Amino acid sequence: MSCMKRLIATLFVLILACSSVMAATWVGRLTGKVLDPEGNPLEGVTITATSPDIEDYGDSDTTDKRGRFRVEFPRQAVAYKLVFQKEGFQTYYHWLDWKISGTASESFTLHPGESLAGGPPPASLSNDAIQAFNDGVKAYEEGDWEEAGKQFALSIEHDGKLHQAWTALAMVRQNQERFQEAAEAAETAIRLGSGDPLAFRTRWEGYRSLGDDAKAAQALESFQDATLRTDEAKKLQNQAIDLRDDGDMEGAFGAFREATSLDPTLKSAWLGIATSGLELGRTADVADAAEALLALDPGNEHGVRLRYNACLELGDEARLFDAMIELVPFEPEAAKKGMLSVAFGSYDKGEMELAESRFEKLLEFDPDQPLAHYYQGLVKMNTGTPAEAKPHLERVLQLMPDTREWSVASELLKAME
């Protein structure tokens, strides 16, 4: 083998060797996406990955315009801590037990808001209470709930009237899923005069997590901060979407309903109730949710179609006719045919006033509907207004020649002469 060939072969072996070394530097890769509560991608979020089990390990990335990032892990079966940070948003901590060799994807949501350190400094005559509170804030910002809880509890020992410490302790207990303690700490903060929305939110979250509907409802009544209510509603909506994506329609339906109880103007949550309710067969709930959506967004096509289908299945003629009116822009022929059928039904039941209004409405959309003119003429004769019946009967002669209806209309017109 020539020197050149040996050199090329050696270089090839070295390249392969280097490639193997490079490939061995990570066994797992997380390709993620960060969104705001409305599902929009967030650019400029810093993600830092560390692990208490791997000394000197650290990886970080910043989201691009599409909210995407990538971090890599050197070992399997190890806990990794991810910290998501962006100015104007609450810092988010996520622990990940990485078990696979390869790549996985996951989406994360950041919520607008302030950290514990964002409010005014606590007022206390005890320097020890203030020092412990500040130490707790530092631990909280680092995601160390155990240490944060210890420090806030110590702050309370030094000054039991420091409502900021009670609020902070409530938030820690909520993060630790110690919901009863969270609710009680928030209650204490409020009783001591706290007006911090975080205290009111944590009290509500605690009782809701406990499943104590009565106390959660009472807490909700004092949840007056509109912006905060909307933020919480969007959180619930995102939880509902995750549940729906996981196939838990019952859980999704309940979470969407909770979201609308917090913010009745959240259109996407009403749509979520309707769509998940449809899959669960809760037809009456679908109709009600679609109507709520249409009250907020008249002409919304999804709402129009959902309400029509629900009312059709329920056999609710009163709402069905109104649903058909709104369906006209999207399914004109089917909607007008349905309106005619419902109007016929009113006529057959002898509900002349209702039939008259329905035939009149149909003729607004379809001025040349021959049977609508014919029956409207009969209705007008029946209600004693032959002068109003005449133009309808004359229209029948133009639209329905050589039919039984033409003959009847002709006889009625002759009788008016």
Residue-wise pLDDT tens digits, 77-131: 888 888 888 887 877 777 777 877 788 888 888 877 555 555 555 666 678 888 8
Helix (H) or strand (E) run with residue 104 in it: strand 102-109
Annotation: CATH topology of 24-109: Immunoglobulin-like (2.60.40)
What's the fold here for domain 126-224?
1.25.40
First to last CA, the chain: 119
23 pLDDT tier (thresholds 50, 70, 90): very low
User: How far apart (Å, rounded) are the C-alpha atoms in residues 53 and 75?
Assistant: 10
Q: What is the pTM of this model?
A: 0.53
265-297 per-position pLDDT tens digit:
889 999 999 999 999 999 999 999 999 999 999
SS3 55: coil
Tell me how crowded residue 123 is: count the other CB atoms within 10 A of its CB.
11
Q: Is the pLDDT at 56 greater than 50, yes or no?
A: yes
Mean pLDDT of the chain: 84
Domains 24-109 and 239-416 share a fold: no
Domain residues of the chain, as ranges? 24-109, 126-224, 239-416
For residue 134, what pLDDT is reported?
Answer: 86
Q: Which residues contact 114 (CB under 8 A, 6 or more apart)?
A: 90
For residue 257, pLDDT over 80 is answered with yes
Backbone angles phi, psi at 108, to 5 degrees: -130, 150
pLDDT in tens, 360-409: 999 999 999 999 999 999 999 988 888 999 999 999 999 999 999 999 98
Whether CATH 3.40.50.620 fits 239-416: no
Look at residues 332, 277, 272 and name the one whose alpha carbon lies nearest to residue 302. Answer: 272
Q: What distances in angstroms separate CA 175 from CA 58, 169, 170, 180, 204, one per listed residue? A: 25, 10, 9, 12, 14
Give the pLDDT band (50/70/90) at residue 175: confident
Among 175, 143, 30, CA closest to 97: 30
d(CA 8, CA 2): 10
> 209-222 pLDDT, tens per residue?
898 888 887 887 77
